[in-house]
Structure 1
């Protein structure tokens, strides 16, 4: 969700709580969503509620909006619904853009990123068979914290991967170009890419983690994640 959309939704929530509840009732209501209120010297329930919502995740804001029946007519509600494998997670969300024939490489990288508290999204692995493929991809793009693009041979010729990268650029999201047989093209070619060389997936995952921690757009979210534990199968190539 864009910052402007989030602020607008917080304004609607604050206005709705102001008309429905007293200050004490707002405290009780927001506590159900793990939102703590802080006493401030102001006699406006709307501003009081908005102040309490500062710094909370998109998911929390959207959950409150749904409870207050403010979802109708708000495009951000649908846009910020994560794909199935990201629902309920507090981990860092990394969209892994790749061409279909290299899904094994993308999955391998996803597994190696897991110990760093990074939940990768690999379209050809994470989309449930009964869910519409394109819709889940859009959910991933809308709710990702950053993107890594695996530039294998043919990446620049894929309509889907180029659209994914363009979407990330439009959102102003952090994009890491992982050069694995093909150099980045277009707008992202001006940024230094991450070369494969002879490094393993574990090595690349560590560097991706370091790059995300060094970027002001992603470091705070990544530091807040809880590292997972993953066993690697070293027989898998790459």
Structure 2
């Protein structure tokens, strides 16, 4: 890697660690790989801390860590980095297998899924004209977290759609059949899937998210992605919207919510939003997790009365 590629690669790893781990988890993870750690780091940013510590290791270890974290464009030690631009960093990666005739509706579904921190691959929308489309599809299949197959008349006869499902089955990835006039068959014949007939695009997107949360293969990954999207929100409204999604669930592991609290401390915009913190604390109370502490006027007065 040249210097610029290395800086960008470190940023991707740092972003992924920030969305998935606490400071203590990062240190434990780094020590397991022989990466240096620092007890008193001057900044309260897991992303910056990760980048600084990883800047001291060689490329081979960076490639190993990136591959272990399942970062989309992580190369291995014997290849040069392959640029994969269609996945949004930190988001859950969902491959949407569909017929070309259904590309418009599939593209709309792709947009609806972003609400749930799901970055989805739609071949007809995401492949750059200058690239070999087969190579791009293979790259997406190799780096996806799950696959959703939009089953409709003609899907079974499409060699490409059928191969995409077979690829996912071979990787033991979660496959979500979306029934749009065709029932699951073959490898996915035993999976009931999502009935999409007479449903809106938003309802199908919500059903996909619910399926990902329920599956042991994808539950933690999608919850970490949604937590990361909350902590990286650029407006309080965006953060509140995604907090309401977490609140709608029945069960969230405590460690994920505690990690979310730590992540939010890095976002001054959210920490200064009374509405966001109120919504966050309502959600935390539902799952019996200690609320985020906010600074009130009485606390400010106490600081003002301290000797200078």
Q: What is the CA-CA distance between 1:33 and the residue it aligns to?
A: 3.8
Tell me how far apart the structure 1 counterparts of residues 105 and 192 of structure 2 sit (CA, whole Å).
21
**Partner Cα distance (1:103, 1:84) in 2:** 20
Q: Which residue number corresponds to residue 27 of structure 1?
A: 36
Matching of residue 57 in structure 1 with residue 69 in structure 2: yes
CA–CA distance in structure 2, aligned partners of residues 130 and 61 of structure 1: 18
Q: Which residue of 1 aligns with 2:85?
A: 84
Q: Provide closer, same or farther for how the CA distance between residues 199 and 128 of structure 1 changes in structure 2, counting only shifts above 3 A.
A: same
Structure 1 106/60 Cα, relative in aligned 2: closer, same or farther at 3 Å?
Answer: closer
Runs of 5+ in structure 2 lacking a partner?
1-33, 38-48, 55-60, 239-308
Structure 1: distance between partners of 2:189 and 2:35: 49
- Corresponding position of 2:78: 71
Q: Is the 8 A contact 1:83 1:139 kept in 2?
A: yes
- Structure of larger gyration radius: 2
Q: Give 3-state SS (helix, strand or coil) of 2:36's partner.
A: helix
**Aligned residue for 1:173?**
173
Residue 197 (structure 1) shift: 3.0
3-state SS, counterpart of residue 211 of structure 1: helix
Moved over 3 A (4+): 31-36, 53-56, 60-63
Contact 2:72/2:84 (CA < 8 Å) preserved in 1?
no
Q: CA deviation at 1:194?
A: 0.9
Q: Is the CA contact (8 Å cut-off) linking 1:82 and 1:139 kept in structure 2? A: no
Provide, for residues 9-47 of structure 1, a one-character-per-residue CA deviation record: whole Å limited to 9, x for no partner.
xxxxxxxxxxxxxxxx9417xx664668xxxxxxxxxxx
Shift of the alpha carbon at 1:139? 0.5
Partner of 1:109: helix, strand, or coil? helix
For CA contacts below 8 A with separation 6 or more, give which structure has more relative contact order: 1
Aligned residues of 2:66 and 2:74 also touching (Cα < 8 A)? no
Which sections of structure 1, spanning at least 5 residues, go unmatched? 1-24, 37-48, 230-238
Q: TM-score, normalised by structure 2?
A: 0.52
Kindly state the Cα deviation for residue 187 of structure 1 after the two structures are TM-superposed. Answer: 1.5
TM-score, normalising length from structure 1? 0.66
Closer/same/farther in 2, CA of residues 134 and 210 from structure 1, 3 Å limit: same
Query: Could you tell me whether the CA contact under 8 Å between 1:33 and 1:60 is conserved in 2?
Result: no
1:2-151 aligned at under 5 Å gives the runs 26-27=35-36, 33=51, 57-59=69-71, 62=74, 70-72=77-79, 81=82, 83-86=84-87, 89-151=89-151
Task: Report the number of matched residues.
Answer: 179
